[in-house]
Chains A and B, each alone.
Chain A
Amino acid sequence: MMSMIGRRLAVGVFVIWGVTTLMFVLIRVAPGDPATTLLGPDATPEQIEALTERLGLSGNIVEQYLAYLRQLATLDFGDSFRTGQPAIALVSSRLPETLQLTLGATVIAAAVGLTLSLLAARRPDGAIDRVVSTISILFQGMPTFWVGIMLILIFALVLRVTPSSGAGTPAHLILPAITLALPFTAIIARISRATLTEAMREPYVQTARAKGLSRGEALRNHAFRNAMGPVVTIVGLQVGALVGGAVVVENVFAWPGLGTLIVDSVASRDYTVVQAAVFVIALFVLALNLVADIVNALLDPRIRVEANA
């Protein structure tokens, strides 16, 4: 298992390098520049040139990139163009909110998705299975921003049972977490239903039934654990999509996390903050992928033994 973790870490370093480099280039290629944006329409060319110089953006992109890499090597992300605070400090102040949101969504998606799949897999192609698969298609097909707006309309404005936006109390988390969880719930329900149904056809499930276990007991006590490996893998791979969804959801609900920070920083061409935020998100996604792999290995004693050897 240790060698697996080592391999993953090496790959992870490359992925983070690739992702941050891409971001570095894209944000500079996009139209608009920080000095003009910061100074506003009345600034003179001299003022703009001076600010560009001060922000370290006067050289060509290769020079800038080399300077950026030198800084990155010491984990220095530079200061925010807008506020002058260290970019990483801004990012870390927003990170807990995003963690809360993605964690909340993951818990909801896992609980609801797995429950739905257990109900469905008891009788594949039965009535419950069909209802669950319809729900999954709906959940997965609805655009996130639209779901967010509908939930705000229904629960915050009409029923007035939840706040419509912002953060602060647990109640604030409910709508954004549900919005973010829906497509993820559908994915978990679908994959888990498929692997559970397959596991239910395995001879060891017949053995369990031959011992007098009911369909549901065989499903929970024997099929479930063996069916979870692929589910955990897919969930790990979907974490990237989840974080992507979080950016949208945070902006719909004015949730003060990394997503809103990134959108604001892109709009104001605050390059350093965007770079720091993307770096942290990439790190977060990779860490969760690694966790998924470890959980997967722990689930299957056959892998566990091989990996120990």
Chain B
Amino acid sequence: MTDKLALSVRDLVVSTDADAPVRILDGVSLDVRSGRTTALIGESGSGKSILGSAVMGLLPDTMSAQGEIVFDDRQVLGIPERQRRALRGRWVAMIFQDPLAALNPSQRIGRQVGELLRRGGLRGKALEEGVVRLLARVGVPRPEERAHAFPHQLSGGLRQRAVIAMALSGGPRLLIADEPTTALDVTVQKRILDLLAEMQRDDGIAILFISHDLRVVSHIADDLVVLYAGRVAESGPARSVLSKPLHPYTRALARSVPSVSAASAVSDPIPGTAASPAARPSGCAFHPRCPLAREICRRETPQPREVVPGRVSACHFAEEFLDD
């Protein structure tokens, strides 16, 4: 835990500006260490992508953020847009779920991958070489040729490699990967994950890996943050969280994926539907679905606290799970 923090989010609140504001994120804290991967996991609508957008500084116009977003000791929430923009692509980069949608359909791959190089002043031959080097580095075969292709002319896997090349082009310290493999074939998924791990090893990039797939996450995450209805349910080192969850929601999540929890071979879906931040239940947001809920859970919101060193849980009864 002594690695340098590349990203530190503290008590982040993201609310909609509507007449009846909704706290999409309600006091989220998480860290991403340099050269490490923090996985952010949660059901659909729990606020994972919004957190990614907040860190990028690209929230929808209708939302605003309070709290702290610290890049490498520098608070970036609330600094002028011009300064924030200078960090995008160069300090923090992002890759998205669907590589076809994430690429401009009417621009050649090379032009898009080289856009940051170009903005950095490269032209002509040097620019071309830079693009080819980036594409080759992420394992695109025949990069000179591929640079001239349009996105629709490449396979899904190659497209995502191009998107990764584009994200790496500014030499970022932090990479936000929002479900980067969800839209890909299973065989391709594995290769993309390997590529990300390789880039991380080479460059020491910190990765915030957003996913709803615990199976994927269990392979790559150093740290895990479990989000429920816009709040952190649990966080800590991935291995320890998965082997001994300190929150009933994490337990249920683990049990819903057969290969993650050794205890059961069959998947055991969580009963009920995910609570949305817009209609967050009182007290502990998980209480309507929690098999262990008691009276206090409906009334009092459990605050995330360090139950044992490095392990944070937001369950009133977290201590009771320690000796399970």
Q: Which A residues fall within an 8 A CB radius of B? A: 123, 202-204, 206-214, 221-222, 225-226, 299-302, 305
Q: Is the CB of A204 within 8 A of B85?
A: no
Collect the chain B residues with CB atoms within 8 Å of residue A301's CB: 105-106, 150, 152
Name B89's contact: one of A202, A203, A211, A226 (CB within 8 Å): A211
Q: Is the CB of A204 within 8 A of B102?
A: yes
With A211-B115, A212-B119 as known contacts, state yes or no: A204 contacts B103, CB within 8 Å. yes
Name B56's contact: one of A208, A210, A305 (CB within 8 Å): A210
Question: CB-nearest residue of chain B relative to A299?
Answer: B106
Q: Is the CB of B61 within 8 A of A123?
A: yes
Interface status of B64 (Cβ within 8 A of chain A): no
Q: Is the CB of A210 within 8 A of B116?
A: no
With A123-B61, A210-B94 as known contacts, state yes or no: A203 contacts B88, CB within 8 Å. no
Q: Is the CB of B58 within 8 A of A206?
A: yes
Sample of 22 A–B contacts (CB below 8 Å): A203-B96, A204-B102, A206-B58, A206-B96, A207-B102, A207-B104, A208-B104, A208-B115, A210-B88, A210-B89, A211-B89, A211-B116, A211-B119, A211-B166, A211-B170, A212-B86, A212-B90, A212-B119, A221-B115, A226-B104, A302-B150, A305-B153
- Which residues 101-134 of B have a CB within 8 angstroms of A? 101-107, 112, 115-116, 119
Name A222's contact: one of B89, B107, B153 (CB within 8 Å): B107
Q: Is the CB of A212 within 8 A of B89?
A: yes
For the complex, count residues of B whose C-beta is within 8 A of A.
32
Distance in angstroms from B233 CB to nearest chain A CB is: 27
Q: Which of A204, A214, A222, A302 has the most CB of B within 10 A?
A: A204
Q: Which of B105, B152, B163 has the most CB of A within 10 A?
A: B105
Q: CA A202 – CA B102 in complex, angstroms?
A: 8
Q: Is the CB of B106 within 8 A of A209?
A: no
Q: Is the CB of A225 within 8 A of B96?
A: no
Name A210's contact: one of B58, B101, B106, B152 (CB within 8 Å): B58
Q: Which B residues fall within an 8 A CB radius of A? A: 56, 58, 61, 85-90, 93-94, 96, 98, 101-107, 112, 115-116, 119, 150, 152-153, 163, 166-167, 169-170
Q: Is the CB of B150 within 8 A of A210?
A: no
Question: CB-nearest residue of chain A relative to B81?
Answer: A214
Query: Which 3 residue pairs spanning A and B have beta carbons closest together?
Result: A212-B89, A211-B89, A203-B101
Collect the chain B residues with CB atoms within 8 Å of residue A302's CB: 105, 150, 152
Q: CA A302 – CA B61 in complex, angstroms?
A: 31
Q: CA A114 – CA B163 in complex, angstroms?
A: 30
Collect the chain A residues with CB atoms within 8 Å of residue B112's CB: 207
Collect the chain B residues with CB atoms within 8 Å of residue A213's CB: 85, 115
Q: CA A204 – CA B166 in complex, angstroms?
A: 12
Q: CA A305 – CA B96 in complex, angstroms?
A: 26
Q: Which of B56, B107, B116 has the most CB of A within 10 A?
A: B107
Q: Is the CB of B96 within 8 A of A300?
A: no
Q: CA A185 – CA B89 in complex, angstroms?
A: 37
Q: CA A187 – CA B89 in complex, angstroms?
A: 37
